[in-house]
Amino acid sequence: MAMVELKGISKTFGRVQALQDVTFSVNKGEVFGFIGPNGSGKSTTIRVLLGMIKASTGTAEIFGQDVWKQAPVIHRHTAYVPGDVHLWPNLTGGEVIDLLIELGGGGDRNKRDQLIDRFQLDPTKKCRTYSKGNRQKVALIGAFASFADLYLFDEPTSGLDPLMERIFQECVREIRAEGKSVLLSSHILSEVEKLCDRVGIIRDGTMIETGSLSDLRHLTRMTMEVETKRDVVSLEKQAGVYDVKRESSKLTFQVDTEHSGAVIAYLTEFGIKHLESRPPTLEDLFLRYYEEGRQAP
């Protein structure tokens, strides 16, 4: 069952087309990674989902309800953490956490206290005195302690130190284990790689790829490094081989996943001394899509 369902969402601000035909869904119990460079439309998409801005065309639903018309009803069961949390300078962190939980439709008070401990936040300080990381913690604690079925995170770990990032990741795994769903927008790709079941890549307001990480890896190339007894001839002419680089006896190249078997068979003829193959990381994927975008007219 889809918790989030976007179909053909477009959004224009004046003449600027911020989103174009964005379509994807987040299923129950899954962590969906939403990645893309800065300014690609991640936050705009999330703001549409939260009913803060109205989509120009298309339908967007959470729990099967229209995100614009039913916003307050939907929000009783969602939690949101933005990348840059702005709080009221003269309230304490503890007060803000309680406010977020209460106005969001209630939460677990014990969990609240545990989270404050885990994130090592001093809830008695005024928000004025908090650093960016601490403001982020306030919003995260408010979100994780609330009774939500869907969590929307927009670059939630910006400003957190690596230790706190790990606690965030633990928390996400815990809520997934409880069957909750997560939409995690991020450009920290290692984080997405660790947490997400599926990812969607957005660029210039358009979704360019959606699928599980292994699906995406199939669509792309792996890197191979090979040393042979005899010189390899006309490797470049083999189907699906790109970017061949020679360094004395060592060859480095990329190969489309579907052609890798044929290429290895071909290399065997030259007597393989050493062969290393590396699946593409999310970063490779991302950079490839991103660079294609830059080269496009």
Positions that interact with other proteins (CB under 8 A)? 47, 50-54, 71-73, 75-76, 78, 80, 82, 84-88, 90-92, 94-96, 98-100, 102-105, 123-126, 128-129, 139
The minimum distance between CB 187 and other proteins, in angstroms, equals 19
Look up residue 211 and give its two tokens.
Answer: 């699928």
Nearer to other proteins, 6 or 87 (CB): 87
Q: In angstroms, rounded to a whole number, what is the distance separating the alpha carbons of residues 81 and 254?
A: 39
For residue 146, the 8-state DSSP code is: B
For residue 107, the 8-state DSSP code is: B
CB 176 within 8 A of CB 105: no
Nearer to other proteins, 63 or 286 (CB): 63
Is residue 280 helix, strand or coil?
A: coil
Residue 31, phi then psi, degrees to nearest 5: -105, 115
Nearer to other proteins, 91 or 272 (CB): 91
Q: In angstroms, rounded to a whole number, what is the distance separating the alpha carbons of residues 202 and 23?
A: 10
Q: How many CB atoms are located within 10 Å of the residue 121 CB?
A: 23
The minimum distance between CB 95 and other proteins, in angstroms, equals 4
Nearer to other proteins, 71 or 262 (CB): 71
The minimum distance between CB 52 and other proteins, in angstroms, equals 4
The minimum distance between CB 272 and other proteins, in angstroms, equals 56
Nearer to other proteins, 140 or 255 (CB): 140
Nearer to other proteins, 121 or 267 (CB): 121
With CA atoms as reference, report the closest residue to 43 among 210, 212, 184. Answer: 184
The count of residues in the chain is 297
The minimum distance between CB 53 and other proteins, in angstroms, equals 4
The minimum distance between CB 106 and other proteins, in angstroms, equals 9
Give the list of residues 6+ apart from residue 10 with CB closer than 8 angstroms, or none.
17, 19, 20, 21, 22, 55, 56, 57, 58
